[in-house]
Amino acid sequence: MDIAAKRILITGGTSGLGLAMARALVGVGCQVAITGRYLESVVQVANSLGEGAIGVAMDVRDEVSITAGLELINSEFGSIDMLVNNAGLGMVSVNPKFMSNPEPFYRVSKDGFEGVFDTKVLGTFLVSKAVVPQMLNGSGGRVVIISMNTQTMERKGFIPYGPSGAAVEAMGRVMAADLAGSGVTVNLLLPGGASATSMIPPDVPDAIRSQLLSPEVMADPIVFLASYEASDLHDQRIVATSFEEWLTNFRKSRDQQNL
């Protein structure tokens, strides 16, 4: 697949979905910057990805940290073609036994709520707010927001994780409306189910663990979103587990419009 967006920033790229997407994009020749809060960790992971990847210490909740990180990325890449808003904290950070013993919202601490919401929602807003003006002043760009299933947004015992997903979906739709016709596209991407990442407690029964999605499910969709074929794709919600079906329908619709 021919790649158009070759300079890519992935927030929260040291593990799980972020790392899987970074690996796929480096594999097709992209320059990829991954972020994490701890410099040593993020540099180590970037080095493991090989040439074309850099690790940048960035706290997506902090504008000063974001500015410093973007200055480093711009000095390495020149500019950013695609931003992938992936950084987030899972329910395990609030309730380590959330799968076996979900707790009601009124037992969630303020600090726990803020940790999840600020990383996912505020982080997506602040990084997009910093990157998109650069895209608008240049030759355009692409924004991808990593979301979750609607069922997860509404699941018992999933405050604040579920609502954080609902919030970034709503924000993504508003961002898409704001940027329509601007040369900057916005799309949503989600795995399509629980995936085998550090957000899953280590004591999950084998029967459940065997049903978890591999993070690599995100590889083909994110490569597509960086391709020339997706240049005009805007305000779409792509579910990775049904990506092949979605892509077939997308191509059929495009071909019919071109008749």
Residue 121 DSSP one-character state? I
The answer to whether position 2 is within a domain reads: no
Find the mean pLDDT for residues 126-141: 97
Residue 139 lies in a domain: yes
- pLDDT band, very low/low/confident/very high, at 197 (cuts 50, 70, 90): confident
* Contact by Cβ (8 Å): 58, 131: no
| Pairwise CA distance, residues 33 & 100, whole Å | 36
Structure tokens at 205: 């029964």
**Residue 163 corresponds to which amino acid?**
P
Model confidence at 206: pLDDT above 80: no
Cα–Cα nearest to 217, from 182, 245, 183, 242: 242
CATH number, residue 62: 3.40.50.720
Q: For 61-70, 93-102, 176-185, which range has the lowest pLDDT when averaged over its residues?
A: 93-102
Question: What is the per-residue pLDDT for 209?
Answer: 78
Taking alpha carbons only, the member of 91, 82, 69, 94 closest to residue 132 is 82
Contact in structure between 227 and 6 (CB atoms under 8 Å): no
The sign of the dihedral angle between the CA atoms of 32, 36, 39, 40 is: negative
pLDDT at position 212? 87
* Rounded (10°) angle between helices 161-179 and 110-117: 30
Per-residue tokens: 188:
């949503």
Residue 1 lies in a domain: no
In a domain, 151, yes or no: yes
The residue segments making up the domain with residue 112 are 7-257
pLDDT digits (tens, 9 = 90+) for 28-52: 999 999 999 999 999 999 999 999 9
Number of domains in the chain: 1
pTM: 0.95
Determine the average pLDDT of the residues in 252-256: 92
